[in-house]
């Protein structure tokens, strides 16, 4: 069994939440010039914007990032060097790219998984009244973080 | 992503005379049939065709012959780097990246070309 398969099915998943946190911190630091921090574990974010990337191969599932509209605009603003009031369609592009980078950075941190797991192009959903259901058969790995004082949630749902 | 890369190139101190962007490999090939460029930056994971197939098809575009390609991608494994370089890429930038990392890859390639 390859290392990544062992990771996906075995007992090392306790490292995944710290790896998600680290992957996100690196992306925000390098690409947005912002340090993010852990929020209280039960913190939730209003799902006004959800960016998702599918994972396929040795690790199958969906990584999503959800936050409120204001945070999404501010993330795009910092990523693109635009004033927040100048951010339009770029918000979805930036959120999609952030989710792609967090997913890619995460999988590259799991030994042996980089080659065996491909990412889909990102999808971004916006709105105030929607629910997302992933047909995953295991609990989600979630980490709540603070960006400029506002909470956002990174979630990884895995098919076994 | 294209705007982020353009911003990073400018932050790295490159003077960009003109930037063309394309939403996928097929659009990029169409642009390159019409326009002469000094450098091509592309991802590996792209809709329509992936970055490796894009490099392969570049050889059929007269105006793109000899134009260096640098991959910017989340695919960070050594195998992907080897694949990209074997396909003809001249550089490889892993996302997330800093403007300095972009500069480190782009400047030598442009210097050789000029």
Average pLDDT over residues B62-91: 90
What is the C-alpha to C-alpha distance for residues A17 and A142, in angstroms, rounded to an integer?
Answer: 7
What is the C-alpha to C-alpha distance for residues A135 and A16, in angstroms, rounded to an integer?
Answer: 20
Upper half-sphere CA count for residue A34 (Cβ side, 13 Å): 21
pLDDT band at A37 (very low <50, low <70, confident <90, very high): very high
Q: Name the residue in chain A with its Cα closest to that of B47.
A: A121
What is the C-alpha to C-alpha distance for residues A59 and A9, in angstroms, rounded to an integer?
Answer: 9
Least confident of A41-45, A124-128, A141-145, B94-98: A41-45
- Please report which helix (H) or strand (E) contains residue B17, including its range: none
Considering CB atoms only, which of A81, A101, A120 is closest to B95?
A: A101
How far is C-alpha A24 from the geometric centre of its chain's CA atoms? Answer: 7
What is the C-alpha to C-alpha distance for residues A79 and B86, in angstroms, rounded to an integer?
Answer: 32
pTM of the predicted protein model: 0.84
B76, two tokens? 């960070």
Q: Do A114 and B77 touch (CB under 8 A)?
A: yes
Q: In sequence order, what are the residues at sequence separation of 6 or more whose Cβ sits closer than 8 angstroms to the Cβ of residue B99?
A: B8, B9, B11, B12
Q: Name the residue in chain B with its Cα closest to that of A108.
A: B76
Which residues of chain B are within 8 Å of residue A56 when distances are taken between CB atoms? none
Q: What DSSP designation does B44 have? A: S
Q: Do B4 and A80 touch (CB under 8 A)?
A: yes
Q: What angle do CA A120, B3, A116 make, to 5 degrees?
A: 25
Q: Do B73 and A104 touch (CB under 8 A)?
A: yes
pLDDT band at A9 (very low <50, low <70, confident <90, very high): very low
pLDDT at A71: 95
pLDDT at A91: 94
Considering CB atoms only, which of A30, A94, A101 is closest to B74?
A: A101
ipTM exceeds 0.85, yes or no: no
pLDDT digits (tens, 9 = 90+) for A15-29: 889 999 999 999 999
Closest CA relative to residue A102, chosen from A138, A45, A68, A152: A152
Which residues of chain B are within 8 Å of residue A119 when distances are taken between CB atoms? 45, 74-75
DSSP alpha helix (H) spans, chain B: 2-11, 25-34, 51-58, 78-87, 99-113
Q: Do A100 and B74 touch (CB under 8 A)?
A: yes
Average pLDDT over residues A121-126: 92
| Residue A1 confidence (pLDDT) above 50 | no
The residues pairing with A117 across neighbouring beta strands, listed in sequence order, are A57
Considering CB atoms only, which of A27, A90, A100 is closest to B3?
A: A90
Indicate the average pLDDT of chain A: 86
Neighbours of B60 (CB within 10 A): 10
Q: Name the residue in chain A with its Cα closest to that of B24.
A: A121
Closest CA relative to residue A64, chosen from A45, A43, A36: A45
pLDDT band at B25 (very low <50, low <70, confident <90, very high): very high
Q: Is the peptide bond before B95 cis (omega within 30 degrees of 0)?
A: no
B83, two tokens? 């694949």
| Residue A12 confidence (pLDDT) above 90 | no
pLDDT digits (tens, 9 = 90+) for B27-68: 999 999 999 999 999 998 888 898 999 999 999 999 999 999
pLDDT at A2: 42
Which residues of chain A are within 8 Å of residue B76 when distances are taken between CB atoms? 104-105, 108, 114
Closest CA relative to residue A90, chosen from B58, B57, B7: B7
pLDDT at A77: 94
What is the C-alpha to C-alpha distance for residues B40 and B32, in angstroms, rounded to an integer?
Answer: 10
How much helix, strand and coil, in percent to the nearest 5, is found in chain A?
40, 25, 35
Residue tagged 């895995």 (tokens):
A158
Count A/B contacts: CB-CB distance under 8 Å. Answer: 55
Which residues of chain A are within 8 Å of residue B80 when distances are taken between CB atoms? 114-115
Q: Do A114 and B74 touch (CB under 8 A)?
A: no
What Cα–Cα distance (Å) separates residue A120 from each residue in B11, B17, B53, B75? 29, 33, 17, 12
pLDDT at A62: 94
């Amino acid at each position: 069994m390859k290392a990544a398969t062992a990771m996906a099915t075995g007992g090392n998943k306790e490292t995944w939440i710290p790896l998600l946190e680290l992957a996100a911190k690196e992306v925000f630091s390098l690409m947005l010039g912002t340090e993010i921090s852990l929020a209280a574990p039960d913190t939730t974010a209003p799902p006004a914007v959800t960016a998702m990337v599918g994972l396929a191969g040795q690790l199958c599932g969906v990584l999503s990032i959800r936050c409120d509209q204001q945070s999404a605009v501010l993330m795009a603003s910092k990523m693109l060097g635009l004033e927040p009031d100048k951010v339009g369609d770029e918000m979805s592009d930036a959120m999609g790219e952030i989710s792609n980078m967090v997913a890619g950075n995460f999988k590259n941190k799991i030994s042996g998984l980089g080659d065996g797991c491909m990412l889909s192009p990102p999808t971004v959903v916006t709105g105030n009244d929607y629910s997302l259901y992933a047909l995953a058969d295991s609990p989600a790995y979630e980490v709540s973080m603070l960006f400029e004082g506002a909470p956002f949630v990174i979630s990884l749902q895995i098919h076994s | 992503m294209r705007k982020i890369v353009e911003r990073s190139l400018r932050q790295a101190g490159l003077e960009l005379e003109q930037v063309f962007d394309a939403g996928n490999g097929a659009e990029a090939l169409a642009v390159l049939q019409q326009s002469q460029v000094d450098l091509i930056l592309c991802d590996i994971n792209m809709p329509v065709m992936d970055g490796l197939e894009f490099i392969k098809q570049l050889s059929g575009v007269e105006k793109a012959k000899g134009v260096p390609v640098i991959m910017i991608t989340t695919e960070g494994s050594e195998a992907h780097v080897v694949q990209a370089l074997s396909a003809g890429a001249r550089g490889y930038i892993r996302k997330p990246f800093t403007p300095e990392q972009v500069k480190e890859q782009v400047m030598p390639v442009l210097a050789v070309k000029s």
